[in-house]
Structure 1
């Protein structure tokens, strides 16, 4: 009887493996899990914390007249669509409208020309997300000939179908674009490294388009261009002719250029807001003697009264937009001034970096609600549907910046040995994988430092979104390499 049961299970698995690959399994599971969250009433998403206007008005959307607009408390499901001339210009340079506008066109075609349902935007993100999840699972499991690769597919769903990430789809935040493009960028690069497809150019195109969209979706992402250049230079391991190397270097210049353009187009208003909070929620926040910290840097010590305040806080001692504040405070320092201060006060810098480490894996936005008002939930209520992974990372991942340094050192050391083997054995995959790990670790540490130096601890969890996503990719890469015995060598189906 046991033999019969074993044969029956074997036949069932063989049939399943012939018809459904690990990547297809991941897409099916994620489609059901995420689709239920986003599209089945009462829907879920993220409420507006005040950032939505950055893309709302420039995309031709507005708060519907006669309908309560609940900042922070509840998800707003419908918006009005402007019918005539839109006088609003884009407040920031961003690639996000490339996703928002198709959602509005689809809404006009299938639903209404005057009312926009946020689910259409969620659907656009949903479709691209499932494509990215397919490529990610394919990249991690190829060649998919072992039963354990189905466990890897389930692990991918467990990590990236977590609601703390997918709730962003039903919102006007830019984070969905960051998540989706990072999935495509990493997956395309790893598929190239593992030479999954005979034709390389489609994956090369996917890599560059997704990376540029990621760099340009938010102005704080401009420094990420440097990390992606490190990653892109790994393509040199694939090319064997001089012309190919030239294309790789030209690609690096394109990525750098996208970062430079994104940085130079930062709106002065947002630059001033971030600059103010860099001082009040950064430099002054942990300073033992804020007056002295200011006067040593050539700034009037009376501005120490702003310690701990955000730009939008009520009842300020002086109008923040006044010429006096601009000339005597914000105009007196820049990124270099702040970085120099932190280097001269390493204890304060360390405390601030520990704040980033504490919030590094905190993905779910705590300050806003996840439900529409019709759901009957309290204001700012949070859903815990399919959030086990994010809750585990938040609870158990070490909250010290020193651990991230140690994590970086160990991971780079492990994959450096792998890259050495790649040079010896002429295996591009091992070299390219090392380039990704180095780029990812510089991304994680760089985002932490830039967030503190560029905006203090204001809205820190959202600023660290890429830290969590990149950490998740590294954890999956390391875990799957160990499971498939390819940590220090290329895949061998005999193992």
Structure 2
């Protein structure tokens, strides 16, 4: 009892603000994701490749019952369940590890007697990691009490919104992107503010960064920017053991990113290439036939223009023999990139399209609930969606994105040049990584899959710029606080 009281006193003295913030966030998460009527995401066809890693399958076999437009929370656990123990299979992403953990927790709690998995077990695992990441960020040692409160309030208002947390009750990769990005930032802040960090602190960060980079195949190209952070750590931490651990960690992350990339199935790769051409390069093109030939594809394949990759019932089958023999071997993302470099006006059109399609969030609707459980009076956080709908020109304006990005970049560079201490410079590297993660999404999704499921592929753009908005708010609050402090000190001196 005495130990418990001592721990409570320690938390009260050192982490009172953080605890209050986490309790508020936990209440919102529990109410939204765990208390009936619960809210989540319905399957759009992407769930199956993720579910297989937990040995899960849909309760129904009929197409209409699987894709009925409603959120499903129960899934069958296969028996036997060999994939539960297979670490890597096709279309591997880091969140599949969390799925395996959640399925195992479910089986243990139910004494291995139930085969009806509840998706809320996965949401629970996501929520735990989400809260750990938030705690590490809010408890950043350079935050005073005011900044901690502002940071926590921003998390509550923006990141407990249904447009983000409902992904936790789903098998979409966006959930992993959210939790691992916050954990990545949190473990990094925890690392760089320690006077004498230990090797385990570097391990925490490398695990979190690897989790983020492999949460979706779309995140893997960001390894290029993450390597700059790894290099920064190597430069500023000169102890031999730590440098060896940084090198080993970097090589492991590169290897795991490679595993994630090469695990992509042929169908997935072909789907992305198909959409990059027919829903990207050729979309709104004044000269589609000429563009097709410029990227090295015979104009006979123009018959697929306006034809969905998933529509395989007609004569034009995107996975037909002619396509596999003559189309896919002759196209690559490198050729598509060269095309846009040679046509900067077309690239600019795609960047503007990305901005125009950003923040494709919506309020919860009937499909966000289990069938026949829709409740219009369900209390959830919809503030973020309200702001997007209230100010659409602010959220979907390429010039706002560019202007904000330039200011953010210039201020970050200013701090990097002015302050030469290790913590500040390493902090700036992470701030620039967040900028690179967001700004790159104005280009990468359209290169990688054209306008196929465009709004969803811009998710990291939305998340990154929301994080940068929070950073901007904290920076402004910090400047106001410093100026106020200086002002009152001058008044006291005059008196």
TM-score range, shorter chain: 0.7 to 0.9
Q: Structure 1: how far apart are the matches of 2:71 and 2:377?
A: 11
Q: Structure 1: how far apart are the matches of 2:234 and 2:407?
A: 25
Q: Structure 2: how far apart are the matches of 1:179 and 1:272?
A: 27
In structure 2, the CA distance between the partners of 1:53 and 1:335, relative to structure 1 (3 Å rule), is: same
1:95-117 deviations in whole A, cap 9, x for unaligned?
A: 22211112112222334521111
Residue in structure 2 matched with residue 472 of structure 1 by the alignment = 466
Provide the secondary structure at the position in 2 that maps to 1:42: coil
Aligned CA RMSD, in angstroms, stands at: 3.3
Residue in structure 2 matched with residue 222 of structure 1 by the alignment = 220
1:403-432 deviations in whole A, cap 9, x for unaligned?
A: 433333221211111111222xxx212211
1:221-255 deviations in whole A, cap 9, x for unaligned?
A: 21111121122333246424465445444444443
Provide the secondary structure at the position in 2 that maps to 1:113: coil
Q: Structure 1: how far apart are the matches of 2:210 and 2:233?
A: 16
1:133-212 aligned at under 5 Å gives the runs 133-139=134-140, 142-143=141-142, 145-147=144-146, 149-195=148-194, 199-212=197-210
TM-superposed CA distance for 1:280, in Å, is: 1.1
Provide the secondary structure at the position in 1 that maps to 2:42: coil
In structure 2, the CA distance between the partners of 1:147 and 1:419, relative to structure 1 (3 Å rule), is: closer
TM-superposed CA distance for 1:86, in Å, is: 4.7
1:3-82 aligned at under 5 Å gives the runs 18=13, 21-65=16-60, 69-71=65-67, 73-82=69-78
Is 2:305 the partner of 1:307? yes
Residue in structure 1 matched with residue 417 of structure 2 by the alignment = 420
TM-superposed CA distance for 1:186, in Å, is: 0.7
TM-score for the superposition, normalised by structure 1: 0.85
1:329 aligns with one of 318, 323, 327: 327
Residue in structure 2 matched with residue 123 of structure 1 by the alignment = 124
Residue in structure 1 matched with residue 493 of structure 2 by the alignment = none
Q: Structure 1: how far apart are the matches of 2:437 and 2:147?
A: 30
Stretches (4+) displaced over 6 A? 365-368, 381-384, 486-489
Residue in structure 2 matched with residue 454 of structure 1 by the alignment = 448
Residue correspondences, number = 470
Provide the secondary structure at the position in 1 that maps to 2:75: strand
Does the 8 A contact of 2:202 with 2:246 survive in 1?
no
1:302-357 deviations in whole A, cap 9, x for unaligned?
A: 32232233311365441221110122322221111111222222222222222211
TM-superposed CA distance for 1:384, in Å, is: 8.6
Does the 8 A contact of 1:230 with 1:436 survive in 2?
no
Residue in structure 1 matched with residue 95 of structure 2 by the alignment = 96
TM-superposed CA distance for 1:192, in Å, is: 2.6
In structure 2, the CA distance between the partners of 1:201 and 1:322, relative to structure 1 (3 Å rule), is: same
1:174-210 deviations in whole A, cap 9, x for unaligned?
A: 2111111110111121233333x76444432221101
Is 2:373 the partner of 1:389? no
Residue in structure 2 matched with residue 405 of structure 1 by the alignment = 402
1:89-146 deviations in whole A, cap 9, x for unaligned?
A: 833122222111121122223345211111111111112211112112112xx35553
TM-score for the superposition, normalised by structure 2: 0.85
TM-superposed CA distance for 1:359, in Å, is: 2.8
Residue in structure 2 matched with residue 13 of structure 1 by the alignment = none
Q: Structure 2: how far apart are the matches of 1:271 and 1:398?
A: 31
In structure 2, the CA distance between the partners of 1:363 and 1:65, relative to structure 1 (3 Å rule), is: closer
1:293 aligns with one of 279, 291, 294: 291
Provide the secondary structure at the position in 2 that maps to 1:49: coil
Residue in structure 1 matched with residue 8 of structure 2 by the alignment = none
Residue in structure 2 matched with residue 436 of structure 1 by the alignment = 430
Q: Structure 2: how far apart are the matches of 1:176 and 1:420?
A: 36
Does the 8 A contact of 1:335 with 1:454 survive in 2?
yes
Structure 1, 316-325 or 391-400: larger mean CA deviation: 391-400
Note the residue ranges of structure 1 that are not aligned, 5 or more in a row: 1-15
Does the 8 A contact of 2:49 with 2:91 survive in 1?
yes
Does the 8 A contact of 1:58 with 1:91 survive in 2?
no
Note the residue ranges of structure 2 that are not aligned, 5 or more in a row: 1-10, 490-495
Q: Structure 2: how far apart are the matches of 1:363 and 1:83?
A: 38
Does the 8 A contact of 1:33 with 1:161 survive in 2?
yes
In structure 2, the CA distance between the partners of 1:178 and 1:382, relative to structure 1 (3 Å rule), is: farther
Is 2:229 the partner of 1:234? no
Residue in structure 2 matched with residue 9 of structure 1 by the alignment = none
